[in-house]
Amino acid sequence: MKIILENLGRRFNKEWIFKDINYVFSQGQQYAILGPNGSGKSTLLSVLLGNLTPSEGKIIYKNQKEILPEDIFNSISLAAPYLDLIEEFTLQETIAFHFQFKAYQQGFNAAAVLDLLALSKAEDKPLKYFSSGMKQRTKLALAFCADTPILVLDEPTSNLDVQGTDWYLALIEKFSKDRLVLVGSNQSYEYDFCQHQLNILDYKK
């Protein structure tokens, strides 16, 4: 799987958030998308996810053959603080619902995801009663345990304590191999494992 950016740009009104990005993201590699808060990291990730269209340039998704932008969601797992979960669902229902649309990683099922989360006592509790940290752990587990070639993590340790951050880094070790990993962050401990860095400030006009 590759994501190829050709002269990519995105603007809001007359202000360019980023412009003239020429870059190739390749499967099996980890990439940090860097920049201060408000610089456009999440905007770039949204464009890469197909949630926003570029203002100029284009994105090419290739996995043996080219994938249409409207179909790329099938190949992507996302965890982000702004990603909404269905608050009325229990944890069990959330896992069952998510994996109607994504395949499990090899050797995983709903019980294994629950074990990974270590939230078995809360499996029948609606998510509206979860703490922000529990919700973030749930989002991360769903993303990591889905069998997709692209893994997108935006501010992955938001709302996590030190123990939760260690858990996140263990997930990276276990589940990032052979995937194209994109990490939007300005916290070095979230992306220290990445071999490549793209700083959004390098593409301001």
Q: 58 near 6, Cβ under 8 Å?
A: yes
d(CA 155, CA 83): 11
pLDDT at res. 120? 78
Phi and psi at residue 52, to the nearest 5°: -125, 145
Residues with pLDDT less than 70, the chain: none
pLDDT at res. 64? 84
Phi and psi at residue 59, to the nearest 5°: -120, 135
Give the largest Cα separation in the chain, rounded: 51
CB atoms within 10 A of CB 159: 15
Q: Which CATH superfamily is domain 2-203 in?
A: P-loop containing nucleotide triphosphate hydrolases (3.40.50.300)
Say which DSSP state 138 is in.
Answer: H
pLDDT at res. 17? 95
Residues forming a β-bridge with 105: none
pLDDT at res. 119? 85
d(CA 16, CA 5): 16
The helix or strand, by DSSP H or E, that contains position 128, with its residue range, turns out to be none
pLDDT at res. 204? 85
The helix or strand, by DSSP H or E, that contains position 73, with its residue range, turns out to be none
